[in-house]
Structure 1
Amino acid sequence: METSSFQALVRSEFAPRTTYLNSASTGLLPARAVRAMHEAALSVAQGSPDDMFADVEAARAAFARLVGVAADRVAAGASVAVYSGLVAASLPAGAEVLTAEGDFSSTVNPFHVRGDLSTVPLERVAESVRPGTALVAVSAAQSADGRVVDLPALRAAVRAHGARLYLDASQATGWLDLADHIADVDYLTSVAFKWLTCPRGVAFFVVPDQADDPAGFEGVPALEGVPALFAGWVAGERPWDSCYGPVTELAHSARRFDESPSLFAYAGARHSLALIEELGVAAIGAHDLALADRFRAGLAALGHEPLAAPGSPIVSVPGLGVRRPELSAAGVEVSDRAGHLRAAFHLYNTEADVDRLLEGLRIG
């Protein structure tokens, strides 16, 4: 998409009243999603509810296209922690699982409560994979500081040693093209309320392609090897025939891991995801990274050095987190993470937004 068309479409969908640089916490909602949610809520208030389960299927299909998998590999839910827990529950006792130090809790805590894990610095995850490693669980991009995992190195390591890879892409989907990496990712999860600009209450879980994984881990196919611990009626092969009593036949696809959906959220999500597809992840990523680089250059001119996170739209600056309240009072929204000022640049941001933040830091 041409730059002018990109900008015109973005401006038609977003009209923030602040300088909003906090997409790593919560992405802004596009106008089309807000309208859809409003219409869905009205349909219920008026006694003629829209078929929002159709929105779930549209959102599932859109997410599948964005990450480069078939829709039957994607479960629709609401929480990364739930899916981390399912993967953790699938592992045999004593399995070695590698996680990165300081990774997001929802990604790693379900593995740590088992008490039989190994944890290493992010930079050493790939080199720490060994023949006895069962699984690597890591975020594609770190929430705290934006560091992006070396996916090619990690993919090569798990492939070489027969380990599985569980990737939390919550801080990557929407700006980082994952299609080139997905072939070596066994499980991928992502919330959608950050870089995918969806409402809260939407998350996705990708399972292996059963055709490519006939034996799976410990001889059990991946789909069967992950316990559907929270399966309710929506997880049945025929959901509307699975409303009462035990579900006698789980879905033959990743839908067996569906959570009962937050329908109003999905009513908006299908339109948010359609916008991401229309703009294109490659174009969004290039836009976001250019703004982040502009901020890094401006910080250097002010004598500040951000934490190293090349190729990321998230920039964290040590010692400046304390400035968040005054910046917010001036209409510039960022995060304070462990004393670091964290700015996250996304499709609706402009060079003027970057300069406004830099000016706020200059005069403070």
Structure 2
Amino acid sequence: MILPTQRHLFELPDDLTWLNCAYMSPQMYAVSEAGKAAVLRKARPWELRPEDFFTESEALRGQFAGLVGGDAAGVALVPSVSYGLAVAAANVPVKVGQRLLVLAEEFPSNVYPWRELAERAGGQVVAVRRPEDGDWTRALLEEVDERTALVAVPHCHWTDGGRVDLVRVGERVREVGAVLAVDATQSLGALPLDVAEVRPDFLVAAGYKWLMGPYSQGYLYVAPRFREGRPIEHNWLMRGGSEDFSRLVDYRDDFQPGARRFDVGERSNFVLVPMAMAALKQLRAWGAADIQQTLGALTSRVAKGAAALRLEVPPESRRAGHLVGIKRRGGYAPDVAAKLAARKVYVSVRGDNIRVSPHLYNTEADVDRLLEELDALV
């Protein structure tokens, strides 16, 4: 279903065209209000009860689990993608000579942990080349074999929206006994994903882009076989019996159940958690499938207009609907994004692409405005 514009829910000036959700989402009024109330709450610490350190973060854990079709016990609350992938890297087994596959031109947070792991374990990070036909799934499947220890991929490429069929890739990864780690930052919330179908070993997402929450609140889903793994820090909340503040001096070796052992310290953030809750509730009310269909209509309009300007976009069958890269042979002038911003049209340049990433606050008029301004620049 195509959703009507939701611009009235966002703090966006009328004369501004924000087609840059992949950089950072604007904030909904409801999220801002939750944050303001939370900040004021900190002024009254006598109203915070010991159970509040658990109940609110557990509610957020449940909201995220519902979004990905998983169980709350499999969700850890983390501050960033790098933190979540550090947890994964601490638990992925790699033998000497094995390969760790990533996509070419992948986001750095999904490269650096694997380079360190490969160096430590004697493995090799291999970047799968960008396919000329845009079929990342085929390119990945051709590289996965018995030498593979890990496949670390996004659902769609962060520079241009090129899509990966995670179900097919996951099936092949399991066939060879490897681990699947997914960085869903540039897709989750706007592109449907069910962990029961994909079956990732680790799935991480930052919360301030398509999940429309505050900066520094992220999520990590961990498959059952890794939930007894090694955390990268040891905070008091992750330990068994931590609900009883009077007995915290009775140090324990056991952990809270499931992936909670991987929670970041101070995960009960009394400002960020309510804001993230407000965002996830609204996203689930809209539904990722309807968001994807709505945004797909907008990016199709972008693609058609870009083609008329003799610019290149990935084939529609090979890309996600919520994010599209516009490529110009020979590249763009270094100041193209700044010139568009001066006209109050906001996009990002990533690699050789102008990355266009709309959301429900955008309309066809926003797309046409971008194309008009782009025509004048290229």
The TM-score normalised by the length of structure 1 is 0.88
Superposed counterparts of 1:1-364, under 5 Å: 3=2, 6-7=3-4, 10-17=6-13, 18-48=16-46, 51=52, 53-90=54-91, 91-94=93-96, 95-114=98-117, 115=119, 116-119=123-126, 120-121=128-129, 123=136, 124-179=139-194, 182-209=197-224, 221-224=225-228, 226-241=229-244, 243=248, 247-260=252-265, 261=267, 262-308=269-315, 310-318=319-327, 319-320=331-332, 322-364=335-377
* 1:157-206 per-position Cα deviation (integer Å, ceiling 9, x unaligned): 11322222111111110111111764521211111111010011111111
Secondary structure, aligned partner of 1:316: strand
Match of 2:133 in 1: none
Gaps of 5+ in 1: 210-220
Secondary structure, aligned partner of 2:227: helix
The code of the aligned residue for 1:117 comes to Q
* 1:52-108 per-position Cα deviation (integer Å, ceiling 9, x unaligned): 753322221111011110111100111111221222222244243222222111112
The code of the aligned residue for 1:313 comes to H
The code of the aligned residue for 2:226 comes to A
Cα 1:168–1:49 shift into 2, 3 Å = farther
CA distance in 2, matches of 1:294, 1:58: 38
Secondary structure, aligned partner of 1:200: coil
CA-atom RMSD, angstroms?
2.2
Identity of aligned residues (%): 31
CA deviation after TM superposition for structure 1 residue 47, in Å = 4.3
CA deviation after TM superposition for structure 1 residue 287, in Å = 0.8
Task: Report which stretch shifted further, 54-63 or 318-327.
Answer: 318-327
Moved over 6 A (4+): none
CA distance in 1, matches of 2:236, 2:306: 52
Gaps of 5+ in 2: 131-135
CA deviation after TM superposition for structure 1 residue 333, in Å = 0.9
CA distance in 2, matches of 1:246, 1:92: 33
The TM-score normalised by the length of structure 2 is 0.85
CA distance in 1, matches of 2:249, 2:42: 24
What is the aligned length? 348
